[in-house]
Chains A and B, each alone.
Chain A
Amino acid sequence: MRYDAVVIGAGPAGSMAAVEIARAGFSVALLEKHSQPGTPLCCGEAVSKGALDRLMSLKPDLISCTIDEIKVVSPGGKAITVKHPGAGYILNRPQFDLELARQAVAAGAELLTETIGLQLSGETAFESLAIDNRKDGPGTIDARIFIAADGVESKVARLAGIPNLINVRETESLLQYRLKNIEVDPALIEIYLGRRIAPSSYLWIFPKSDREANVGLGVSTRLTQKFPPEQLLNDFIGSRFPGAIEAGKFCGLAPRYQGERIFRLKNLLVAGDAARADDSISGAGILYALLSGRYAGMAAAAFLRGDIRQEAELDQLYPKKFLDEKGEELALYRKLRNIYDRLTDDDFDEIIVALIEFFAARDSVAGLKPGQILAGLIKTRPKLLKYVRHLW
């Protein structure tokens, strides 16, 4: 088989990339390991509404809930609820991924499901990908450019020789249940902090309706033997949602990756979680995947058109455009992550109290920049400077 481009992984990054390449008039194979995109779910499904709306318009059936309020509960039980109308969406992620893949197919991409990459080969550039299809068996796809968008596992990047080992100390072990037969506010996200609840991470309640939610937590991987995620989550659910029915179980890895992000090797572009393009604080990656996939696809199309002569010139389109938009944000989250890891439960309590005071005079958080909130916190709690100084 021969295509102009091959995209490995039909998640948000891969489908966005395939859309851009196909719309530019080039043939593109979109490989998906599973029988259909969007499964299995490895995601809390929460995303910023404003940022997503700027990228695309969503059909209503792809949205489970629209979030207007965020409640954060400190280890000592102090809670702040911040109103932020339209702050976010809880997506119907399997349908969302499926819809993106459908858009890629509608644009002309060929979706090859139950297909995995086995080996990348070529002389000076990558020229072919050995594949295995569950039904048809082994084969080879030749192409002029390749995009690895195969998630945190990132097998293709590894096959290409990109070192993508993550130190276990830089990861969180995530576990989430889909709970039914519960009562939740469908417009409210709840976050619980504290080392006894979710050591070095947080616990979340993301509503799927007023009777259903994704409830999950992260635990720093180095602490899972002492604090098993399943036990912590079961304890929380048992006390908060005693009559809950478990309707699904999901897990995953949140990399708090501190190493260099590698977005390209020769004519292989790496996008989304495969490039470690995620928020080091929350582990959120959907928006970064969409954006990095789009720019990777645009760069690939420019390469195929002949706008770019040398592979190295790809960098001016991808990752440069992506990093121009999101690089500072990703770097800030990494620094904040390091601060977050130093905070004690007492610190969390103090920060929540300071936030309660800060927001007392405000009806909504909308329009406030993180720097303004930070300045407000330091003004009332100068002690916090000892952490904030690590930002610079």
Chain B
Amino acid sequence: MLIIAQELCLDCGGCVPLCPVEGLFLSFEDLFCDQALCTLCGACPEFCPVRAITLELKDAV
């Protein structure tokens, strides 16, 4: 699943238009991910310059 470290996120919103399934939402100051939509494509963690977004691949083989 996608993990967002709110304490690292600087609220820039740059990851939002990169999400191909429109699964990222920036509310007033917090970034949210709709885990049901997320395909773990990796675009947002690849972008995030402060490493606030990571992928946790628990079930990966």
Contacts and interface: CB of A to CB of B under 8 A. Distances in A.
Contacts of B12: 40, 42, 250-253
Given A40-B10, A251-B10, A253-B12, A166 B50 contact: no
A301 B14 CA distance: 31
Nearest to A221: B47
Interface string B31-53: 00000000000010011111100
A153 B17 contact: yes
Given A229-B49, A230-B50, A249-B50, A164 B17 contact: yes
Contacts of B46: 168, 173, 221-222, 224-225
User: Which bracket fits the contact residues of A?
Assistant: 35 or more
B28 A116 contact: yes
Given A229-B49, A249-B50, A173 B14 contact: yes
A158 interface: yes
Interface residues of B, number: 24
Nearest to B21: A165
A72 interface: no
B47 A165 contact: no
A255 B16 CA distance: 12
Contacts of A166: 17-18
B13 A151 contact: yes
B26 A153 contact: yes
Main secondary structure of the interface of A (DSSP, over half): mixed
Interface string A137-177: 00000000000000111110010000011101001011100
Contacts, number: 88
Contact of A173 (B19, B27, B29, B49): B49
Interface string A196-224: 00000000000000000000000101101
Given A40-B12, A151-B13, A165-B20, A251 B26 contact: no
Nearest to B13: A153
Given A164-B17, A165-B20, A114 B28 contact: yes
A152 B14 CA distance: 7
A33 interface: yes
Contacts of B13: 42, 151-153, 253
B43 A168 contact: yes
B5 to A, nearest CB: 13
B17 A253 contact: yes
Contacts of A116: 27-28
B15 interface: yes
B50 A154 contact: no
B47 A134 contact: no
B40 to A, nearest CB: 14
A384 B45 CA distance: 37
Closest 5 CB pairs of A and B: A253-B14, A153-B13, A175-B49, A251-B49, A252-B12
Given A40-B12, A165-B17, 4 more contacts: A114-B28, A165-B20, A249-B50, A253-B47
Interface of B: 10-20, 22, 25-29, 43, 46-51
22 contacts: A34-B29, A40-B12, A114-B28, A152-B16, A154-B16, A158-B22, A164-B17, A165-B17, A168-B47, A174-B14, A219-B49, A221-B46, A221-B47, A224-B49, A225-B46, A230-B49, A230-B50, A230-B51, A249-B10, A253-B15, A253-B18, A255-B17
